Amino acid sequence: LTYLSQHILHCLLVCVCNDGHLYRSSCWNGCFTLSDVLILLDGHVRINPSIIKEGYTPARGEANYLSLYDIVITFVDVAASRYPVHLQHLLYLLRNADNQLRVKPEFVIFLINHSCLLTYAEKRKLYDVVDKFFWNPTG
């Protein structure tokens, strides 16, 4: 994955899983593909507004996750094993996440910040923040 594709996938997961499922309780019922992913001038990612948005149900949420799986898989060369170390884990989560797990904020935050979607600098920054909090929680 390039840095740009990592960023696009991260923003897409934020759009679908965080903004859509958690905060707006809405779904696209898996009816979107990579060509329906719109990158706005401000850098935000949105799903094409012509795709009908419906209320969230476990079945529609699963369909969205399977569409996300299909989109992620288009960015990598699985046959040549040319992908980030933890990408298989992300793909596994997208295909096999339990219905109850998909609506938990902790899981969604973990998913959208999955380590295969972070650059080395972002991972290092995250480690430093956690390390500072661990060794000096009050300051």
Cα–Cα distance for residue pair 73/78, rounded to 1 Å: 8
Do the beta carbons of residue 93 and residue 111 sit within 8 Å? yes
Query: pLDDT value at position 139?
Result: 60
- Of the two residues 139 and 20, the one the predictor is more confident about is 20
In this prediction, residue 127 carries a pLDDT of 83
Q: What is the pLDDT of residues 57-82, one digit of tens each?
A: 999 999 999 999 999 999 887 787 77
Asked whether the CA dihedral 15, 75, 66, 122 is positive or negative, the reply is: negative
Give the model's confidence band at 15: pLDDT under 50 very low, under 70 low, under 90 confident, else very high.
very high
pTM, to two decimals: 0.83
